[in-house]
Amino acid sequence: MAPKKINLAEKLGAFSDHWNPRIVGTYNGNEVRVAKVSGEFVWHSHTETDELFLVLSGELTMHFRDRTEILKPGEFIVVPRGTEHKPAATGECQMMVMDAEGTSNTGEVKDANLTRATLEKI
C-alpha cells in the first residue's frame, strides 16, 4: 500500500465532541490520534507506555502531582509510562496524541463518561 498524506485540520473538522480521540494513522505498533478537549480530564497513568501530546491549537494544561506544564500550539510533552497526569483546557484545545495501539485513553482508570472502549478510525 502506497503512503498517503493526512490533513490534520480536515480530520479535526470531522467531529466536534471533546475527550473522544480518533485514530488518524498507525506506525510501528503506535496510533496517531487527534482530539478536541475542553475542561478537565481525570487523573490517570499508563503503566505500559509513554504518551506524547502535541498541541495544534488552543492551550493545554498538563497537571502532574508535583507541577503543572502549560503547552501552546507547536509544543509537545512526553509523559513517561507510570506517570500520573491530568490534562485540562480552558476553552477548546486541539491536539495530536501518540499512544501504543490499543492504549486506553484513561489508562488504568475506568471513567463512565470519559473512557472509550474503542476508538473510531477516521
Domain assignment of residue 111, given as a range:
23-122
Cα pseudo-dihedral 26, 38, 50, 43, rounded to 10: -140
CATH of the domain at 109: 2.60.120.10
For residue 12, being part of any structural domain is answered with no
Q: What pLDDT score was predicted for residue 1?
A: 77
Tell me, yes or no, whether 8 lies in a domain.
no
Q: Is 88 domain-assigned?
A: yes
pTM of model > 0.85 = yes
6 within domain boundaries: no
> What are residue 9's phi and psi, to 5 degrees?
-60, -40
Q: Of 9, 4, 23, which Cα lies nearest the Cα of 116?
A: 23
pLDDT digits (tens, 9 = 90+) for 88-113: 999 999 999 999 999 999 998 998 88
pLDDT single digits (tens) 16-51: 999 999 999 999 999 999 999 999 999 999 999 999
Structural domain count, the chain: 1
Look up residue 4 and give its three cell numbers. 498517503
